[in-house]
A and B are shown apart, each in its own frame.
Chain A
């Protein structure tokens, strides 16, 4: 496969599982930032819209050996053989060669859900219902993110609206480079315990570079070779071993 990468910018994230308390602030901040609609109660836990979703996982042993951790799982932004890209008949899934962000173009999506079937991380969500909010609540929408319509697939895009704003700001300052802290996704900003780190995976001077090259780092389903840009960190071998197991819940839809 032709290498699509251009330049020395690859956005990625490191999530410290040992620090995550499972509070859910990342999920809430994500939903508010991206104007994610609230599906009706019958949506259950399979047909909702959760660009980032926190899984509770334990080692299955009784007390006192029992250990539980929380896994925030969003789109892993696969950098190699990105499974959702080639299956889309509409060219609605795109990987930005400049920074590696995998994004979906809802206006092109016709709702076939091939990308959902292809995603090994269950990180894509289908709009089963019209996006409906309580009356008047559209006044409190984020003006930088369009709400999506029924019948299209959506997912995490590392808060693309924030990236656009940061890029405009950098341009206004006459800069062409990305500096650490220029922008972070809403989930990273929201984490109250600082378990999430965002930055340029290729910058040897960045914090994320240091974290992902340490012994605590691992990725989900590393064996399938998708070279995801979301890394996880843990001191515990049993947690790192979870990286090669599929999350509970099965496929969507």
Chain B
């Protein structure tokens, strides 16, 4: 029998026992819904964790420092007291070269400096830090009060809530007000009388008025190698323009090159975490120390894969139970349609035709149940999201999505549903195909 005719006859048969077949299909749908809800929860949590980690700047970033002299300390593999070679300076030239590497989005220094801010005539000591524009998507800025910086070099500041509370009992009222930032600026010395380069620099106290534009709950992560950025955040370009003294300024001075400013560390942000290794190797080849947390990301992926697998197994149990419903429905159909099967055989249907007809009926129930189950599963996922966000909202936390349905889940769930249904149809289909036509025709 041709496929189209099989399909038409199968649909006709399914319509005949509409209630029973609908209930069986609903059973499959519940099984698929359970599977989808479980797996979408696992995948959603994985996506959530990956997103948070990606936004933390830890997994698409490479932390670069000048090569330490300790690199020459090779123990048994080489000379212990080899002559110390001067490390290649991590300067503006190196920064430009790194920025030109393929897949690199941006390269920025970690600028942090102690400061004293004045607000309403009172001084407050704190730590200030430059924030790169890409940090806008950091989780720390989710749900922030006010807004992010209006430009990369705007005279604006974002306060961490603890600092804001020190400044005012009503932190929210600080937005729009100004604070005065006092800092130590590194200034080059004038050339000496002989026209030679100066052999030092001066440090001058300076002030800058900043408008408070936002308040964040948590201190944004400072990237690999630093504990945090600071409690007063300013645009990175502004922080660079302030030329504040940094910890490595003394090192520049001691190396006799005080006017060639270098960075203590640079953060290289890559457009895609899988590209991190490639960029990291290129930076190492340039003569710098570089490391990333990409391996930790892989471990996390393995953990979630195992987690998803177990959720999938538990979710599948309902589908397996539902498949027993298909066996029951089709066995009942054989009893009811015994004579009909005899007539089919008398008119020329082969055992294969009868088997295929029952398979198509089972597969159709699987397909319909799979599609319906997807919708129900998605609704369950949305309900989980709704409940989670309701809880988070009550605790004044930003909304998140803990369930996710990817296209591959849709395809796999429907295929799995059809396969389970076909497997459930093997016994009834074989039994129907094996019916003796003479006996079947006698059946009343």
Do A and B come from the same complex? Answer: no
- Using CB atoms and an 8 Å cutoff, list the residues of chain B in contact with chain A: none
- Using CB atoms and an 8 Å cutoff, list the residues of chain A in contact with chain B: none
